[in-house]
Structures are given as C-alpha cells and as structure tokens.
Amino acid sequence: MRSNPTLPWMQACGLVCLALLASCRTPLYECGDIYAEHNLGSDVNSPYDDYAPLMYNDDRLLFTSNRPAGDHDLEFVDSLSAYGENIYAAGFKGGLPVDPILIEDPPLNTLRNDGSAGVYIDPRSNRVELYFARFRNDGPRSDADLFMTTYIDGHWTPAVSLGPRINSTEWDAQPAISADGRFLVFSSDRPNRFEENGAEVNDIDLYVSRRLPDGSWAAPVRLSNHINSESDDITPAFGIGNDLYYAQRRESANQNYDIAVARNLGAGEWGPGEFLPWPFNDPVGNDHSPAPWADSLYFASDRAGGCGGYDLYAERVCEAVIVRGVVNSAPELHKREQILVTDDSGIQVAALDVSHDGDFEYRVQPGGTYTFEYYNPCNPAAVEPITVETMCSADPTIIRMGFDAPPSRPGPPDLPDYAVPFFVTGYYKPSTPENIHDLRLKFAYNLIGEDSTSYIEFPGEVYDNIAEEVEIALERTSMLLVDYMRQFLDNCWDGTSKLVISVEGFADPRPIFDAARYADEAIADPGLNMYIDRGQRVDNQILSRMRAYFTACELISRLECTDVYRQVRDRVEFEINGTVVTEADPLPYELQRRIVINAMLRE
C-alpha cells in the first residue's frame, strides 16, 4: 500500500499505545457491559460526545470529543460544549481503536475549541494539509472558522484561517477534502436564501470550494438542492470515487439526523442524496459524522446502548472483493511466477505467489482500479496485463481472471552477419590480426609448400583493415554468446537443455587444383568431429569445413576466458559444417568466403 508520513503526534500515540498494551489495559471509562451493536467500545468512547471520526495512515483514528482534556485542564463550558472540543488520536489493536490521546504537537487544541479534522496528503510530495474548525475569539462561542496547518520538513506550520474568501461571519466548520485534493466541502449556517416574507434563512447547508491553480481555494458555492434540504445538512465526508457522505436532519416527528450519500457526477457535482439503511441510521437516535474507510463506514450516533452522548460506531459498507486467478503455464514454472498488483496511481501494492496448481488470490479494496501483471524472470513470454475496477457492493464479489503464459525461452541471440571477407582466398583460418601475421610468416619461410601456395592468396596490406574488422566481429559474437549462456546460471531451465552453437563455413565455387594439400599439423578432434591428415588433398568442401572448425576454435578460446562459460561449458556444444557456394550466389567472391554462427537451445 502507499505509505503516508507518520507524524510526530502519531508516533507519540504509537508509543503510548504500546506502553499501555504491554500492561493489563482497562477501559478509559466504565460505560456498562452492554453496548449497542457496532459500537467501538469504551476503549475509545467516553460518557461525553465523541464524533467526527477520520482514518489516517491506515492505522490511526482521529476524532473530536468534548471529554475532560486531562493536562489541558479546561473548565466545564456548558451542557452543549461540555469541556470544549478537542481532537484526539487513537491507535488500533485487533481491528479496534484503543487508547486515544490528546493531540498536542501540531498547533491544535487551543482554549477556543478545535474539532472535526480533515486531512489531505499530496501523493507526489507527501505534504500534509490538516483542516479543522476553531471558535473565534471575537464572537460568540457558537461561531467558528476554518483553519489549516501544514506539515513541511518535519514541522507543523502555525495554524492559519482560510480567510474571508472561505469563512463567513457565521459558523463555518466540519471540513472534508476530496482524495485528489481538488474539492473542499464544509458546513455553514451563513444565510443562503430568503423566505417569501423576505426573512433570511440560515439553516446549516453544505458548501463546496474548488482548489485554484495557485493552491488557494475559490469562493465557496452552496451545493444543489439535490443535497441541501430545507433543514440542516452537516458533517460531509468523501468516500469511494469521491461520493459525498453527509448527515441531514429528517423532516419527521423526531427530526433526527440520518446519514445519506450522494454519488459523484464529476466536475464538482453530485447526484441526489440517498439515506442509508440500518445499521447506519437508527430509527430513534441521531446519526452523523460519516467517515468512509476501506470497506467500512465509521460514524457517530447517540442511539441507545452506548457510553453516553455521541459514540463512535463502525459498520461494513462494502462486502469483500476477492480476485481469484489461474496461470496457465508449465507446472515447473509456477514456483517462480508472481502476479504483480498495482493501483490506479501505478504504485505496486502486492506481489502474489502462484500455487503449484497455478492459482492465486488477492483481496482488493472496493472502489478502486487495479492492474494485475504476470511476472516470471524465467518465462519472458509476452502476457497482457489485466485491469479491473472493484465496485462497492452489499454482497461479496468474486472477480476471476486467467493468464495464458506458455513456456518461452529466449530466442537465438541476434548474432551479426558481417559483410567482410572472413578468410584469405584458399585459406582456412579466420583473418584475425594474429592469423594474418602467421600466414605471412608461412609464405616468407615457405612453410605451406610450393604446391599448396598456389591456391592460397598472399594477404596484402588490404587485409590489415580486414583483420581488425574480423577481430571485432569474433569478439562481439563471443560476448553475445556469453550473455545468452547466463540463463543457465539462473536455474531457470532443467538440466536436459543444452546450448548448441552451430558454425558453418563457406567456400566460393572456384575449383581448387588437384595438387593442393593441407600443410599444417594433422587434426584429430572428436569433440568437433574434425579429422584431417597433414598432406591430405584439399577441395572446396574440406576447405569450407576447415573454416568452420578453426572459427569454432577461435570462439572457444575466447569463451574460455569468461567465468560464465567455464561454469556452464558442460551444457554447451559446438557443431561445424561446411558449404560450397554455388555460382548463383549474388555475393562477390570475397564475401562468399564467410562464416555463419547460430545458437539454439536443444533438449
């Protein structure tokens, strides 16, 4: 999963939680032995109001409470505010939040009441923006403004008001930031319309502001009447796909708050709100402060059976989404196969092993887009990745997929075909600088015999340049072969496969006169199946095969200098063959004196 920065007050919470969990933990408050279903319990809830939950960093729960603040030493305010609103952070154990502590490191929790946090983390820079509401100094305690503090370079900036473009002279609170950081939705009781008699109406409604290119927020706009009602609409939050959750005061006998969701239409527009069923909304109690996270919805409720006041609850919204797949490939490849999973931002979230039967399984978060990609270093066959969208559903969802990955071995190395005379006319050793030098000495000392010299050309100065080209060609070919042999070091293939290097020599079709004889040392090489006696008559067929033989010897001598070849030589074989070019070959005679080298895997 994508990692978010762990902030100092988060670290402090973790240390406190660990210390407490190491001992016999008792609940913070005695709330009774029976809790309403889905209540998070007295390890986090208090007899006071606990609400505005917000998941952060996958392992911390922020929430607002008007409980006594301990060392903060706040006095009792009134029956509504109790000891004043403050923001707390709780860790998790066994899937439940535990041991909340007052956040004191960032510039939060002043004597003016701070609450209802919203967090945005820039995925590119990990810059953290923390939004919250704070009572103003210059007005009634019921008036609040929106503030923001930023976590940069290991420090929190001083909290600053979002200013008159966002804040009004009335109550502005409960900020929520979309996952992409583009939209800020909040609650406000500023005047929003007029009754027929001309009186201003200032019930609580939801407003949206768009982030401008310079990072500031545009003037807020009241959301449509599809969402805002003629009563109060409060506690917005963004869920999967930027759907908007919020609470609305019902037009009913008890006028309680219930939670609704409006589906995202894009471009900062949402469809009509739809109320959620039980257990998210209680027939008698008030339910608000929805906070979607993963497949669940956290919320606050004053329904019967809690610790007192508003308590925090959690209930699954989306049932599990399971991806089950199979890889159709050779069984021996399964032990090295993996399925790599990336999210819609391109971040790898999992590397799944494949079972001996080729199966794999992964549980994904609802409402996301994931790409599954086949990976096996021993099987570089092209296999198309599969992308799926995981919908939020009230029923468990199984997504099935399959990868067809036929065994694929590396194709033959792309060995070059050089347009250069590899051999002197009538000679059998490739024209490397060393061989050209030796041939010239043989002519100088008449070591190849009078009869034989008539079919072997004396290598003139032009062969000095040719020799450099041949040297480069043989060196490059040997390095390509070494790279090809590295596959055996990866243990990707079983011990039955061998690398066969085929060397074919060519001779042009001009006949060699009958007196031509082989004048070098006799050859008896069973490994390359080459036998020739000193003084044996030479024709074009023998000449072409000798060219293959001596070129193979050149390659072997170069390969012997590498660690790779020395480790895998028992799995490498050479084959030689000679071919006489026909008159139909369009190449000039000097280029017909060539060599062709191929490599292949063979069982």
Name the amino acid, one letter, at 428: Y
Q: How far apart are CA 35 and CA 132, in angstroms?
A: 30
pLDDT at position 28 over 60:
no
Report strand pairing: 233-238 vs 264-266: unpaired
pLDDT confidence band for 347 (50 / 70 / 90) = confident
Q: What is the arithmetic mean of pLDDT over 340-365?
A: 91
Residue by residue, DSSP assigns 324-339 as: EEEEES-GGGGGG-EE
Q: What is the pLDDT of residue 371?
A: 96
Domain boundaries, the chain: 8-316, 328-404, 433-602
- Three-state secondary structure of 469-517: HHHHHHHHHHHHHHHHHHHHHHCCCCCCCEEEEEEEEEECCCCCCCCCE
pLDDT of residue 20: 28
* pLDDT score of 494: 59
Dihedral angle sign, alpha carbons of residues 59, 65, 68, 74: positive
Q: In which order are the strands placed within the sheet that holds 368-375?
A: 348-353, 338-342, 368-375, 386-390
Chain mean pLDDT for the chain: 84
pLDDT of 24 above 70: no
Q: What is the pLDDT of residues 143-153, one digit of tens each?
A: 889 999 998 87
Least confident of 24-33, 172-181, 368-377, 484-493: 24-33
Mean pLDDT of 64-92: 72
pLDDT of residue 558: 96
DSSP 124: T
3-state secondary structure of 358: coil
* Rounded alpha-carbon distances, angstroms, from residue 334 to 329, 352, 353, 358, 373: 8, 12, 8, 6, 15
- CATH architecture assigned to 328-404: Sandwich (2.60)
Evaluate if pTM is beyond 0.85.
Answer: no
pLDDT of 102 higher than 70: yes
Helix orientation angle between 540-559 and 462-485, rounded to the nearest 10 degrees: 60
- Is 53:40 a contact under the CB 8 Å cutoff? no
Q: What is the 3-state secondary structure (H, E, C) of 549-585?
A: HHHHHHHHHHHCCCHHHHHHHHHEEEEEEEEECCCCC
Question: What tokens does 470 get?
Answer: 């041949």
Q: Give yes or no for residue 352 having a pLDDT over 90.
A: yes
Mean pLDDT of 192-219: 81
Is pLDDT at 428 greater than 80 in this prediction? yes
Over residues 290-332, the pLDDT tens digits come to 999 878 899 999 998 888 889 999 998 888 899 999 999 878 7
CA–CA distance, 526 with 531 (Å, rounded to integer): 8
Tell me if 351 sits within 8 A of 376, measured CB to CB. Answer: no
Q: How many CA atoms lie within 13 A of 269 on its CB side?
A: 4
What would the two tokens of residue 466 be? Answer: 């040719």
Q: Among residues of the chain, what percentage have pLDDT more than 70?
A: 85
Fold of 8-316: Neuraminidase (2.120.10)
What is the C-alpha separation between 253 and 228, in angstroms, rounded?
A: 20
Residue 383 φ then ψ, to 5° = -125, 125
**pLDDT number for residue 2:** 31
Asked if residue 119 lies in contact with residue 54, where contact means CB atoms within 8 angstroms, the answer is yes
Which helix (H) or strand (E) segment holds residue 277: the answer is none
Q: How confident is the model at residue 196 (pLDDT cuts 50, 70, 90)?
A: low
Query: In 3D, which of 337, 323, 295, 327 has the Cα closest to residue 387?
Result: 323
Q: What is the pLDDT of residue 262?
A: 94
At 137, the pLDDT band (50, 70, 90 cuts) reads low
pLDDT, mean of residues 547-552: 96
Give the H or E element holding residue 182: none
Report whether 166 contacts 209 (CB < 8 A).
yes
State mean pLDDT over 60-76: 75
